[in-house]
Amino acid sequence: MITIVNYGLGNVRAIANVYKKLNIAVGIASEPGDIEKADKLILPGVGAFDFAMQRLEQSGLRPALEERVLRRNIAVLGICVGMQMLGHSSEEGTLPGLRWIDADVKKFDFSASRHAPWVPHMGWNDVRATKPNGLFHELGGDSRFYFLHSYYMRCRAEHAVAVTDYGGEFTCAVNSGNIYGVQFHPEKSHQWGVQLLKNFAERV
């Protein structure tokens, strides 16, 4: 079963509806016991980094999450701020992240550009996979996803699996072992997002 972590942030219902339409078993975890039953986990997120980390801590779900992800090696997919939370820290706040992946989160800085793009990065953009990865199975060079963010993840090259160009290329999808993250919102990304969520259920 795909289990979506409900700590009060993120498009939980929209993600669940995608899986229901695909006839893939999905549940929503609001209690630690729900997480203990998960075969795979999705950590959604919207808004500010510190607020998201505080909400996760206050939910009481973090110990169960770490048991499943770090000790049982259950696959987890972080979405948007959920991806950023996987790293060590963010320039947006002062709280530490989950530290599940060797990465940090930086703010877009186009101060040296004469034709700086608008921040936040909002709307549709192309996504290019940089190496084979089950998350991008059957997603070709024409894949487009919906973004809404002002910060991006800076990670080790071996963990980057896809990039997007917005005033320069940045990593928009990561993978380290059983830990996955995407900066964009697959639940808002039409057929490409549906395929990616399907891949997470069936290909990783």
Q: Per residue of the chain (204 residues), what is the pLDDT tens digit?
A: 999 999 999 999 999 999 999 999 999 999 999 999 999 999 999 999 999 999 999 999 999 999 999 999 999 999 999 999 999 999 999 999 999 999 999 999 887 777 778 889 999 999 999 999 999 999 987 899 999 999 999 999 999 999 999 999 999 999 999 999 999 999 999 999 999 999 999 999
pTM of the model: 0.96
Q: Give, in order, the Cα–Cα distances in Å from 4 to each of 25, 82, 184.
A: 11, 11, 17
**Closest residue by Cα to residue 185 from 128, 138, 124, 142:** 124
Q: What amino acid is encoded at 171 in this protein?
A: T
Taking domain 2-202, whether its CATH number is 3.40.50.880 is answered by: yes
pLDDT tens sequence across 73-128: 999 999 999 999 999 999 999 999 999 999 999 999 887 777 778 889 999 999 99
Q: Are 90 and 84 in contact (CB under 8 A)?
A: yes
- Residue of 158, 133, 153, 151 lying closest to 143 (CA atoms): 133
11, 188 Cβ separation under 8 angstroms: yes
Tokens of 2: 């795909």
The answer to whether 44 touches 10, Cβ cutoff 8 Å, is yes
Q: Which residues are catalytic?
A: 80, 185, 187
Rg (CA), the chain: 16
- Ranges of beta strands (E only) in 127-188 are 128-129, 144-149, 151-155, 160-165, 169-176, 179-182
- Residues counted in the chain: 204
